[in-house]
Amino acid sequence: MSESAATPRPVLVIDFGAQYAQLIARRVREAGVYSEIISHTASAKDIAAKNPVALVLSGGPSSVYEEGSPILQPGILELGLPVLGICYGFQVMARELGGVVGNTGLREYGATQATVNPDLTPLFAGQPGTQTTWMSHGDQVQQAPPGFDVLATTEATAVAAFGSLERSLFGVQWHPEVKHSPYGQEVLDNFLHDIAGLDRSWNSEHVIAAQIEAIRDQVGDGLVMCGLSGGVDSAVAAALVHKAIGDQLTCVFVDHGLLREGERRQVEEDFVAATGVRLVTFDAAEKFVGALAGVSDPEEKRKIIGREFIRSFEEASTSLVEQAHVAGGEVKFLVQGTLYPDVVESGGGSGTAVIKSHHNVGGLPEDMEFALVEPLRTLFKDEVRAMGRQLGLPEAIVGRHPFPGPGLGIRIVGEVTQERLDILRAADAIVRQEMTKAGLDEEIWQCPVVLLADVRSVGVQGDGRTYGHPIVLRPVSSEDAMTADWTRMPYDVLAVISNRITNEVPEVNRVVLDVTSKPPGTIEWE
């Protein structure tokens, strides 16, 4: 795919190990500007090679003066790019530019009143002189770099922001990317639009037009296959590719036996009715479940599922040609609904840590026969939903809760067997029914239902002792799956769910609630 045709020049978010690096990237995109994340280990040459329009330096948990703490690589601030430093990134800028950073013993955490000077700088234009900011720091910039104006102060911090309009270099001690800083988005908007001079061209219409061009450039008149899972990502990817190349595309739904109740029907009926694409279904449940036999390690399960997906699509490709479902010869391209969070969590290609290998990124076999078409690879989930609506997909598909490509295989902690799949499928169906009945589908981002297959506990059912499995409910609220908090579901709904599962699924005698945010936990358990 021609990347230059598909994406504009980026604002690069340089990640110093921040909890909120992905959130910064999202906020930049909300300002109508394309962004990407890159590791702090990237050199000035690496940065320049990406041809960015501006840089944002993220926060981080370290102290800039401690040995081994992340640094900004030499020469980056001399590239002539507009730069905004945030928290740790602000302190890194200060030291790099000749300012002074130290620990005065005064810390600021949480909501903090800051005094800014809107008349002195466009960074705070249109904002009140006193505003609430969200702080998280123990170190302070004690002296601004030479030639820089002090733009904000707090009761404990004499230099809470600084800047040089001449050099387009600015920094703030607080976190403008979080909602707890009420004027944070305005700070980012002012930096991007008024200081860096960037327009608001990044939106779903722009992405659709650019990706249609890129898809056509990549595949030419070749035959293309799309692996449909029934989820939002693959559905939007298929609709976009179909809009670009029409009947060159055949969608393949591989029923891997790891689906939830009713998902095959939704794909075979609802999606085809909405798009008019050609769909062929292959039943591979026995093969997938067999390949997972005896495997409990989550990374290994993901890689096995990714491998079997590709092998299934290779078999499907041959079968499609042989059965004349497609004309003109070999299928050379495979469409995947890979998203930017998948790429970031799988290592990102830019020095970011591997959180887990997504089956469609880190789990693909090296000898794969297809060239990948991944038109959503640079997008977050909410951007994909907006694109789906723009493409005319019905809300039943666009608004569907995220469901991982590896399916229930990674919601079973332990070995995957047919019996365990049946248990989890039954419990999951109850949870979804009761959430819909309670009107919670829009409030909750997703609710993974997890079977702790290798854990048993004593219970009492029907006046007798049981030794059954626990089911974990994981309701979360999120914007893009990069960060999430657990959803405070009504107790009466939880009670109904628990009663139904323990009454209707005999192998389960305990239902528990996961109340962990992300970070530190991931949304899926495996």
Residues serving a catalytic function are 87, 175, 177
CA distance 376 to 234: 9
The residues pairing with 400 across neighbouring beta strands, listed in sequence order, are none
Tokens of 390: 């723009």
CA distances to 316, 326, 444, 511, 513 from 337, in Å: 18, 22, 22, 33, 30
Residues 6+ apart with CB under 8 A from 4: none
Tokens of 207: 């992405």
CA distances to 20, 234, 356 from 351, in Å: 16, 27, 14
- Sign, CA dihedral 33-39-40-42, equals negative
CA distance 298 to 94: 43
DSSP of 401-451, one letter per residue? PP--TTGGGGSEES---HHHHHHHHHHHHHHHHHHHHTT-TTT-SB--EEE
Phi, psi of 6 (to 5 degrees): -90, -30
Q: Is 221 exposed, middle or buried (0-12, 13-18, 19+ CB in 10 A)?
A: exposed
User: In 3-state terms, what secondary structure has residue 87?
Assistant: coil
DSSP of 154-202, one letter per residue? ESS-S-SEEEETTTTEEEESS-TTSTTSTTHHHHHHIIIIIIS------
CA distance 329 to 346: 34
CA distance 443 to 46: 41
Tokens of 77: 């601030």
